[in-house]
Amino acid sequence: MSRATRILSIATDNPDEHLLEEAAAILRRGGLVAFATETVYGLGADATNPEAVARIFEAKGRPASNPLIVHASDLPMARACVAAWPPEAETLAQRYWPGPLTLVLPRSALIPEIVTAGLPTVGVRIPHPEVARRLIARTGRPIAAPSANRSMGVSPTLAEHVRDDLDGRIDLILDSGQTTIGLESTVVDLTTRQPRILRPGPYTVTELEHVLANIHVREAVEANPGGAPRSPGLLPVHYAPRTRAVRVESPQDLADFPWPERAALIVLGRHELPPLPASIQRFDLPAPGIAARGLYLTLHRCDRMGLDLIVVLPPPEQQEWHAIRDRIRRATKPLRPEPR
Ligand code: TXA
Ligand code: MG
């Protein structure tokens, strides 16, 4: 594929049936369609068609070892993708679906191995937006959809981010505006004795434990530079902008900072800052929800500004900032090497 990728605008409320059918027909033929979920744009293919799924890996330059999340339009479709449905799955699905929670469960025979990178498990979720669910329902098959960006890059929260990364490599982009949450789903493994968060996201460990009525949920492991990652999304470098990006530890690090000529500062949370040179582009994301919605948007914007450096001032250590801290650790390098 090398022609420019078509972009179709579609309304979020009451989406046009003809547009949905056009996109669904592409998916049924084994093509690739990018569409908005509530978290980030996904790059969709028919999850039951191995050739279609292979095109996702090719378009993204994604290693074959990184499994894809399967998206369903409703509970029966989600359950058809898995070979077991423990009570914890029922509880979490009832509470959080449709929504930004991915459940990892034993894979059913409906889902080919290429989707799960050979793993016996599959990640499934029902996305929230009507456009996404109607598209999947019309296609009539579960849709494998990783974030619609080149592998290792920043996830897209606007259709134009998808175009910038994947133009000419995919068949269609359904543009329904900015995604509402802006940060990828929480991934929870339900195949171990104790549920385990593999990727922190919009739902925190405390919320999940509350809903599961005191079942203990294990936190995602920190980026592990030596060992094999339990979930490839936990690779230490991921979600990185093209521009050199460093994180400082505290506002004091910004006093006498060796700023290059063109630089941006992204401030997560509320901090007292030392005086900064007037040339610095400053972006403030003071609260967790605003930061989730704005972090990738800001990183994409900085990439387009042709800067020499992005400096990130991370948020406080509170749990509601956990997922954002996680993405920042993967998107930036520490200003000073961290002790191991
Ligand atoms: O919010 C989201 O989850 C977005 C939207 C498009 O749904 N999707 C997304 O997909 O972020 P992707 O491919 O960029 O990240 C999927 C994450 C990866 O960390 C992958 O390793 C993990 O989910 N994952 C998928 N299937 C898994 C499995 N069977 N076992 C463990 N981890 C799995
Ligand atoms: Mg991704």
Q: What are the DSSP calls for 281-326, one per residue? A: EEEEE-SHHHHHHHHHHHHHHHHHTT-SEEEEE---S-GGGHHHHH
Residues 45 and 106 in one domain: yes
Atom of ligand 1 nearest to the CA of 121: 29
220 pLDDT tier (thresholds 50, 70, 90): confident
Across the chain, which distance is largest between two alpha carbons, in Å? Answer: 60
In a domain, 308, yes or no: yes
Residues 98 and 173 in one domain: yes
In a domain, 240, yes or no: no
If one counts the domains in the chain, the total is: 2
Ligand showing the shortest atom-to-Cα distance for residue 123: 1
In a domain, 340, yes or no: no
Residue nearest to ligand 1 atom 15, measured at CA: 146
Does 199 have pLDDT greater than 60? yes
In a domain, 15, yes or no: yes
Do the beta carbons of residue 68 and residue 114 sit within 8 Å? Answer: no
Average pLDDT over residues 75-84: 98
Atom of ligand 1 nearest to the CA of 107: 29
**Residue indicated by tokens 């068949």:** 171
Query: What is the pTM for the complete model shown?
Result: 0.95
Task: Give the CA angle between residues 4, 6, 8 to the nearest 5°.
Answer: 155
Dihedral in degrees, nearest 10, Cα atoms 89, 231, 98, 79: -50
Residues 191 and 292 in one domain: no
Q: What was the pLDDT predicted at 239?
A: 76
Atom of ligand 1 nearest to the CA of 201: 1
- Phi then psi for residue 67, to 5 deg, are -70, 155
Does 338 have pLDDT greater than 90? no
Residue nearest to ligand 1 atom 13, measured at CA: 146
Residues 186 and 283 in one domain: no
Task: List the one residue out of 296, 303, 300 whose CA is nearest residue 324.
Answer: 296
- 153 CB less than 6 Å from ligand 1? no
Does 78 have pLDDT greater than 90? yes
227 pLDDT tier (thresholds 50, 70, 90): very low
- 182 CB less than 6 Å from ligand 1? no
231 pLDDT tier (thresholds 50, 70, 90): low
- 186 CB less than 6 Å from ligand 1? no
In a domain, 236, yes or no: no
Do the beta carbons of residue 124 and residue 78 sit within 8 Å? Answer: yes
CATH number, domain containing residue 172? 3.90.870.10
Average pLDDT over residues 295-299: 97
Do the beta carbons of residue 33 and residue 174 sit within 8 Å? Answer: yes
Ligand showing the shortest atom-to-Cα distance for residue 155: 2
Average pLDDT over residues 170-194: 97
Residue nearest to ligand 1 atom 20, measured at CA: 233
In a domain, 220, yes or no: no
- 55 CB less than 6 Å from ligand 1? no
Residues 199 and 269 in one domain: no
- Using DSSP's 3-state secondary structure scheme, residue 27 falls into helix
In a domain, 238, yes or no: no
Ligand showing the shortest atom-to-Cα distance for residue 149: 2
Residues 206 and 252 in one domain: no
Identify the residue with better confidence: 229 or 190. Answer: 190
Residue nearest to ligand 1 atom 6, measured at CA: 42
Boundary (domain end) residue, out of 211, 230, 262: 211
Residues 149 and 14 in one domain: yes
Q: Which domain holds residue 297?
A: 245-334
Do the beta carbons of residue 310 and residue 299 sit within 8 Å? Answer: yes
Residues 127 and 18 in one domain: yes
Does 281 have pLDDT greater than 50? yes
